[in-house]
């Protein structure tokens, strides 16, 4: 079963535009992470936000977390063609196991 | 050199064959994982190991087995491959830092079972 679900499943934008993707989850979490996957390659960690944090930034990435709504968003500002990839959220549901559970991902295409 | 390596990168095999996928890491992490990725289904956890003597089933372990030969090596076996095991397989490692696990993925093995 998947804890996190990304929305939308697919997103197509022009270079320079902002891209926003969302993740909803079902149970309380310790932290939430976002990963990027270029086509057919391994996932790469982007950013982690803890349950007691509301917003984090890393370069052109901005992540928010709303634990009351059990949701997170990833904003990529001033997108580039190289941002074309699939983006996954992973939630750690706690309980001491620290096993992240991945959603199905959002496929982002940035047109030059 | 890559921190997490997987061999082979691509494999085509026939139904009923035994297949082993290997994973090695140089990150010094205790935790290692095997995931399967099918189109549109994200990542599904097959097995995970928190140290050499600790191996646990994930959500889709049926038809698979693993061996943790050393801290740095974690192998996944398909005892008798079937076509619906055709997928992209990823190994990952993680190290506990401040109570969280950030995972580091290998490049993947594309397995086709005919």
Q: What is the mean pLDDT of residues B98-105?
A: 75
Residue A1 pLDDT class (50, 70, 90 cuts): very low
Using CB atoms, pick whichever of B40, B45, B88 lies closest to residue A99. B45
Residues of chain A contacting B48 with CB distance shorter than 8 Å: 99
Q: Which residues of A touch B107 (CB under 8 A)?
A: 41-42
CA distance A79 to chain B (A): 23
Give tens-digit pLDDT for B35-76.
999 987 789 999 999 889 999 999 899 999 999 999 999 999
**What residues in A contact B35, CB-CB < 8 Å?**
102
Interface test with A, best of B5, B42, B54, B92 (most A CBs within 10 A): B42
Q: Which residue of A has its CA nearest to B33?
A: A99
Task: Return the exposure string of B38-55: e unless at least 16 CB atoms fall within 10 Å of the residue's CB, then b.
Answer: eeeebbbbbbbbbeeeeb
For residues B106 and B6, the answer to whether their CB atoms sit within 8 Å is yes
- The dihedral region occupied by B98, where left means phi > 0, alpha psi between -120 and 50, and beta the remainder, is left
pLDDT at res. A4: 74
CB contact under 8 A, A50 and B4: no
Q: Is A59 helix (H, G, I), strand (E, B) or coil?
A: coil
Digit-coded pLDDT (tens) for B3-34: 999 999 999 999 999 999 999 999 989 899 99
Task: Give the number of beta-carbon pairs within 8 Å between A and B.
Answer: 54
Classify residue A15 as exposed, middle or buried by CB count within 10 Å of its CB (0-12, 13-18, 19+): middle
Q: How far apart, in whole angstroms, are the C-alpha atoms of residue A28 and residue A14?
A: 35
Average pLDDT over residues B98-110: 83
What's the token pair of residue B85?
Answer: 């095991």
B chain contacts of residue A88, beta-carbon cutoff 8 Å? 42-43
């Amino acid at each position: 079963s998947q804890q996190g679900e990304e929305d939308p499943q697919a997103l197509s934008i022009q270079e320079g535009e902002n891209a926003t993707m969302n993740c909803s989850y079902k149970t309380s979490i310790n932290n939430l992470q976002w990963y990027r996957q270029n086509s057919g390659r391994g996932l790469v960690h982007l950013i982690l936000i803890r349950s007691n944090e509301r917003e984090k930034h890393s370069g052109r990435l901005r992540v928010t977390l709303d634990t009351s709504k059990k949701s997170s968003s990833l904003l990529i500002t001033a997108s580039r063609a190289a941002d074309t990839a699939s983006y996954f959220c992973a939630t750690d549901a706690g309980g001491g196991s620290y096993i992240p559970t991945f959603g199905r991902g959002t496929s982002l295409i940035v047109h030059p | 050199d890559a921190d997490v390596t997987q061999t082979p990168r691509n494999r085509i095999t026939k139904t009923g064959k035994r297949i082993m996928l290997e994973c090695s890491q140089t990150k010094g992490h205790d935790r290692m994982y095997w995931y399967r990725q099918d189109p549109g289904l994200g990542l599904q956890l097959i097995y995970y190991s928190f140290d050499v003597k600790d191996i646990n089933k994930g959500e889709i372990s049926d038809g698979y087995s693993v061996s943790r030969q050393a801290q740095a090596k974690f192998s996944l076996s398909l005892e008798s491959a079937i076509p619906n095991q055709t997928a992209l397989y990823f190994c990952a490692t993680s190290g506990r830092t401040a109570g969280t696990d950030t995972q580091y993925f290998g490049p993947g093995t594309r397995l086709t079972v005919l």
